[in-house]
Amino acid sequence: MNVGVIPARLHSTRLPRKILVPINEKPLVVHVYEQALQADSLDEVFVAIDSDDTAEVLKPFNVNTVMTFSDHKSGTDRVAQVVEELDTDIVVNIQGDEPAMEPQLIDDLVGIFDTPNVFMATPATSDISVEDELNPNVVKVLVDQNNIAMAFRREPRQYEMSGYYRHIGMYAFRKKALMKFTNMTQSENEKKYKLEQLRILDNGLPIHVLMTDYSGRGIDTEEDLKTFMETHG
């Protein structure tokens, strides 16, 4: 069984309560949930919430919610709580702020695990602008010739500028690998840059990168929301 989990922490910083921001009369996270349900590779999809307010708002939309602890260090730790007791193989952490996320992207990411030695996988795209490279809210990834992640950056480094891909914040794990992740101590880089995937790299484990032409973007700020509404409203 393969499971998708959308971590939905209520108290975001740059765009307050963004998972509940209404888009065409539905909270943002409901759009993500409905997209994820269309992925052929997932047998079940959950939204991992941490607030009674969120539960109340989502109730009319028949969302499969699971209440989780409010003090998780990362979205992936929240995902792990949801699946801890489930008999599942692949677990996909789907970001709750990408309402236009394509189900095919999930299917393609899960497909990487047909290769036995894959521990964790995440997508990236060559759809990256100069503005993206300079924007700390847009995470960049460097990959080697085998599409294994070498580094994730918020701030650009001049000598690497031509090698960046735009990271897409979705992570897939084998369940055993996910539970191993949650038992690792947060690395200093993870805490400094607020990038949970650095916990994996700092422990010397590989992250396979799926190269995709997906061009969707998450909603992280008021400006992102405005742009999305102009193109999808």
What pLDDT is attached to residue 11? 81
Answer with the residue of higher pLDDT: 13 or 191.
Answer: 191
Question: Is residue 128 scored above 80 in pLDDT?
Answer: yes
211 neighbors 167 (Cβ within 8 angstroms):
no
pLDDT of residue 12: 77
Q: What pLDDT was estimated at residue 161?
A: 65
If you average pLDDT over residues 123-135, what whole number do you get? 91
User: Would you say 39 and 106 are in contact if contact means Cβ atoms under 8 Å apart?
Assistant: yes
Reported confidence tier of residue 34, pLDDT bands at 50, 70, 90 = very high
Contact 182, 176 (CB under 8 A): no
Q: Which residues of 183-214 are buried (b: 16+ CB within 10 A; e: fewer)?
A: eeeebebbeebebbbbbbbeeeebbbbbebeb
Q: What is the pLDDT of residues 71-106, one digit of tens each?
A: 999 999 999 999 999 999 999 999 999 998 999 999
Cβ count near 81 (within 10 Å): 17
Q: What is the CATH number of domain 3-215?
A: 3.90.550.10
CA proximity to 83, closest of 102, 99, 64:
64
Determine the pLDDT at residue 155. 87
What's the chain's average pLDDT? 92
CA distance 51 to 10: 7
pLDDT digits (tens, 9 = 90+) for 151-203: 999 987 776 767 889 999 999 999 999 999 999 999 999 999 999 999 999 99
